[in-house]
Every structure is written in structure tokens, then in C-alpha cells.
């Protein structure tokens, strides 16, 4: 027991002709999942635990659910193992107690869905597993910094048409799981896996596929991971992780054989356009397309590699995505792009060397002085 609580109250399901909403009060706000009406939607605690566990661990508060929001025993056992891993990965996370009533597994269902945002990873997952899927899911509320209903409507229509052409219905779920997770003390890079897992639990599907970002050789502690994603499973809802077998540049190259998916490629999180063409994600993807000699009608092309000079590699995980673009033949095929990518990568590595030298020689004193002087 930590002595402090993150409590979920007033949990309920509101069903109308237009859809169903599962919600509960957390820290004075309503945490919700708005979904199309489905027979498998039930008042259960698994979505709330998946959404809030990491926030509870970071804020060192036991997670408490009301008696009408039960979970099954297998889910609780998995959560215990998950906490051990996260506490080892992220030093600021502390194991907490989850106080929730247990209940028998809900009625088995056979539906198998995968998340689909139009991004490189989820497009690759849909392309690879399409023959085994019953449908796809689009999340409204976890990508853009500020709500943009008109843009999300456009996104839903565009992706929905692409999925319909493949015989895969696209289900849109509106949720504020990201904003509530941040409000209650979590970090998105740590609770992203739980946020994604909360949605299939809310829908009550049998199996759900999370499209992963990192390949096996580039794995690092992160909120969504092939080792931890399956631990969000319950007896009746299985969570799977897919995509670690390929680098992102390899996934993008493979989409050349799926023009329908390449044509609706969407990577932008700015919330201003389908793809703004100037943000970090857009320029990185445009650079990768150019390196492969590919284009997408949904993505503004990178006509001038000098635009990359404004990009800053933020961390080692980000570095991996840029390094992947530097294919062996790039220097001879596109020397201008290879040159700008090389400069960006060298700048980051130089900053890391300076940082490491400062830590070893001056215990970080130089960086502290520069921050203090706002330099």
C-alpha cells in the first residue's frame, strides 16, 4: 500500500442509437471511450486499469476501482508482471496496488482487430495481416495536441474508404485517455501501451494487434513493446504486438506493393492538415520516401533536402529512425539528401559527446551554467 489513491468513481455505460460511451470520473474529469454500439461492450474495469496504471505508478498512488467495474484474475496477474518490468525500465515508476473486484471472463468473442492510423507501422501491419483481420480501429483523441473534429472527420472518411476497399470495416473510437493520463501524472512515452490496450478492452474484442515502431535490434524501454504489450491481455481480450521483424524504412519500402495504403499514408500529429509537410514526422517520412525513390499522393515531397537543417534529433530512439534512411546506395543515388542526413546525425552525435564529456569532467556543470544563462 502506498497510502495514496488514484480512484475511479461513477463508472457507467451510456448506450444510445448512435453509440455507447464507457466512462468514469478520475481526478474530477470524465475518462471516456465513445464507440459504435456493440453487443460486446460491457461495464468492466480493464479499460480503466490499462489507461491509468502507469500514471498511478508514476504518482505513487494505488489504483482503486468501484465494485461495478470488475476485472478478471488473469488480467490482474498480468498487471503484476507488467509493473515489475516497468519499474525496472523507468526508475521513477513505483509498483502500486490495484484494488478492483474480480469476476469471471466475459463471454468469448472471435473478432480480431488491429489499430490503423494510416501511419507506416499500422499500414504495414494491415498489409501483412489483412487476411486474418476482421476489421481495424482508428483512435480519435490520442494524436493531435488540440481537438480538430473536422480534420478527424476527413481522416476517418479517407482511411475508412481505404479499409472498405480491402473488406475491413474501420471502427472509430473517440477517447480522452491520453489527456487524462497526462493529467494524472503520466508520461505518454510510458503509458502509450496501456492507452492503446484500453480501447480493445472497452470494445470487448477477442484479439487486438498493436503495430509496433521498433525492430528487434532497435528495441528500448518504451510504453509499447513486444514484451509488455501482451501483458495488457485478459482472459477474453488478447493483446498482440506486431512489426518488430522490420525496420521502418523496410516497412515503407514494402508499402510500394500496396498503393492503396501508400496513397492514404498519414504521419502528421500537428492537427493542421492530413500531412502538414513541414513537421518532424512529415519531413522524416518525406526523406525516407525520397531515399527509396517513392512518392505518396498524401505526402508533400521533400524537394529540397536543406529543409532538414532545421530538424533536431532529440534522442537515441529518434536517431535510429534517421539512420535507417541512410541506405547503402543513397550517397551515389541522392548525394544532396545523404549529405544533409549525415550532417544531422553528426550534429547529434557531437552534442552527445560534449554532454558525456561535461558529465565526466565537470559533473554536468557546463550545461547547468548554459541553462542558467538561457544560452
How many Cβ atoms sit within 10 Å of the Cβ of residue 309? 11
User: Is residue 372 domain-resident?
Assistant: no
Burial of 196-223, coded b for 16+ CB within 10 Å and e otherwise, reads bbbbbbbbbbbbbbbbbbbbeebeeebb
Same domain, 28 and 174: yes
Q: What is the structure's pLDDT at 375?
A: 44
Burial of 50-66, coded b for 16+ CB within 10 Å and e otherwise, reads bbbbbbbbbbbbbbebb
User: Is residue 252 domain-resident?
Assistant: no
Same domain, 236 and 273: no
Q: What is the structure's pLDDT at 38?
A: 84
Same domain, 273 and 169: no
Owning domain of residue 183: 5-111+132-240
pTM score, two decimals?
A: 0.92
- Over the chain, what is the mean pLDDT? 93
User: Is residue 121 domain-resident?
Assistant: no
**Which cell numbers hold the place of 75?**
488480467
Question: Computed over its alpha carbons, how large is the radius of gyration of the chain?
Answer: 22
Same domain, 317 and 356: yes
The values of phi and psi at residue 114, to 5°, are -135, 145
- 228-279 pLDDT, tens digit each: 999 999 999 999 999 999 999 999 999 999 999 999 999 999 999 999 999 9
Q: What is the structure's pLDDT at 370?
A: 62
Q: What is the structure's pLDDT at 373?
A: 57
User: Is residue 209 domain-resident?
Assistant: yes
The values of phi and psi at residue 25, to 5°, are -90, 130
CA distances from 369 to 135, 232, 301, 314, 373 (A): 54, 44, 41, 21, 6
Length of the chain equals: 375
Closest among 221, 220, 195 to 210, alpha carbons compared = 195
CA distances from 259 to 156, 243, 253, 288 (A): 18, 19, 11, 16
Residue whose grid cell is 560534449: 354
Q: What is the structure's pLDDT at 17?
A: 81
Per-residue pLDDT of the chain (375 residues), as tens digits, is: 556 899 999 999 998 888 999 999 999 999 999 999 887 888 999 999 999 999 999 999 999 999 999 999 999 999 999 999 999 999 999 999 999 999 877 665 679 999 999 999 999 999 999 999 999 999 999 988 788 899 999 999 999 999 999 999 999 999 999 999 999 999 999 999 999 999 999 999 999 999 999 999 999 999 999 999 999 999 999 999 999 999 999 999 999 999 999 999 999 999 999 999 999 999 999 999 999 999 999 999 999 999 999 998 988 888 999 999 998 899 999 999 999 999 999 999 999 999 898 888 888 877 777 666 554
Output DSSP code: residue 39: T
CA atoms lying within 13 Å on the CB side of residue 111: 19
Same domain, 218 and 296: no
CA atoms lying within 13 Å on the CB side of residue 214: 17
Please identify, among 195, 222, 240, the residue that sits at the C-terminal boundary of a domain: 240
What is the number of domains present in the chain?
Answer: 2
Closest among 158, 197, 163 to 78, alpha carbons compared = 197
Same domain, 77 and 222: yes
User: Is residue 357 domain-resident?
Assistant: yes
Query: Can you tell me the distance from the alpha carbon of 289 to that of 149, in angstroms, rounded to the nearest whole number?
Result: 29
Q: What is the structure's pLDDT at 3?
A: 63
Same domain, 196 and 337: no
Same domain, 161 and 60: yes
Query: Can you tell me the distance from the alpha carbon of 172 to that of 203, in angstroms, rounded to the nearest whole number?
Result: 11
How many Cβ atoms sit within 10 Å of the Cβ of residue 80? 12
Same domain, 212 and 326: no
Same domain, 345 and 221: no
- 176-222 pLDDT, tens digit each: 999 999 999 999 999 999 999 999 999 999 999 999 999 999 999 99
User: Is residue 31 domain-resident?
Assistant: yes
Please identify, among 190, 205, 240, the residue that sits at the C-terminal boundary of a domain: 240
| Cα 60 → chain centroid | 23
CA distances from 223 to 131, 188, 194 (A): 28, 8, 8
User: Is residue 251 domain-resident?
Assistant: no
Q: What is the structure's pLDDT at 363?
A: 82
Q: What is the structure's pLDDT at 361?
A: 87
Same domain, 228 and 319: no
User: Is residue 250 domain-resident?
Assistant: no
CA distances from 8 to 58, 323, 365 (A): 17, 43, 44
Instruction: Give the sheet arrangement for strand 135-140, strand by strand.
Output: 98-99, 62-64, 5-16, 19-26, 29-35, 170-175, 135-140, 112-115, 207-211, 238-242
Amino acid at each position: 500500500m502506498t497510502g495514496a489513491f488514484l480512484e475511479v468513481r461513477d463508472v457507467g455505460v451510456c448506450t444510445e442509437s448512435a453509440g455507447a460511451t464507457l466512462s468514469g470520473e478520475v481526478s474530477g474529469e470524465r475518462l471516456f471511450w465513445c464507440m459504435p454500439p456493440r453487443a460486446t461492450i460491457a461495464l468492466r474495469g480493464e479499460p480503466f486499469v490499462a489507461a491509468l496504471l502507469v500514471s498511478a505508478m508514476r504518482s505513487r498512488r494505488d489504483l482503486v476501482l468501484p465494485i461495478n467495474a470488475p476485472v478478471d484474475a488473469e488480467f490482474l496477474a498480468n498487471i503484476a508482471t507488467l509493473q515489475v518490468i516497468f519499474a525496472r525500465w523507468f526508475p521513477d515508476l513505483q509498483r502500486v496496488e490495484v484494488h478492483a473486484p474480480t469476476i469471471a471472463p466475459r463471454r468469448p468473442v472471435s473478432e480480431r482487430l488491429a489499430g490503423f492510423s494510416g501511419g507506416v507501422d499500422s499500414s504495414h501491419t494491415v498489409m501483412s495481416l489483412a487476411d486474418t483481420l476482421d476489421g481495424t480501429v482508428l483512435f480519435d483523441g490520442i494524436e493531435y495536441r488540440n481537438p480538430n473534429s473536422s480534420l478527424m472527420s476527413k481522416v476517418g472518411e479517407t482511411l475508412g474508404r481505404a479499409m472498405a476497399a480491402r473488406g475491413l470495416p474501420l471502427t472509430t473510437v473517440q477517447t480522452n485517455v491520453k489527456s487524462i493520463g497526462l493529467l494524472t501524472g503520466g508520461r505518454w512515452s510510458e503509458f502509450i501501451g496501456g492507452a492503446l490496450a484500453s480501447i480493445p478492452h472497452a470494445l470487448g474484442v477477442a484479439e487486438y494487434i498493436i503495430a509496433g515502431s521498433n525492430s528487434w535490434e532497435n528495441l528500448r524501454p518504451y510504453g509499447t513493446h513486444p514484451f509488455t504489450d501482451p501483458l495488457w491481455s485478459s482472459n477474453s481480450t488478447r493483446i498482440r504486438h506486431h512489426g518488430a521483424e522490420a525496420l521502418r524504412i523496410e516497412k515503407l519500402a514494402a508499402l510500394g506493393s500496396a498503393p492503396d495504403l501508400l496513397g492514404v499514408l498519414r504521419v502528421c500529429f500537428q492537427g493542421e492538415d492530413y500531412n502538414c509537410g513541414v513537421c518532424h514526422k512529415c519531413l522524416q517520412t518525406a526523406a525516407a520516401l525520397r531515399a527509396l525513390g517513392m512518392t505518396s499522393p498524401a505526402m508533400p515531397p521533400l524537394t529540397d533536402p536543406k529543409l532538414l537543417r532545421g530538424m533536431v534529433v532529440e534522442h537515441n530512439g529518434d536517431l535510429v529512425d534517421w539512420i535507417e534512411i541512410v541506405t547503402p546506395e543513397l550517397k551515389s543515388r541522392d548525394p544532396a539528401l545523404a549529405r544533409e542526413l549525415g550532417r544531422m546525425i553528426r550534429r547529434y552525435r557531437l552534442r552527445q559527446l560534449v554532454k558525456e564529456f561535461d558529465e565526466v569532467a565537470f559533473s554536468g556543470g557546463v550545461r547547468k551554467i548554459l541553462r542558467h544563462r538561457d544560452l
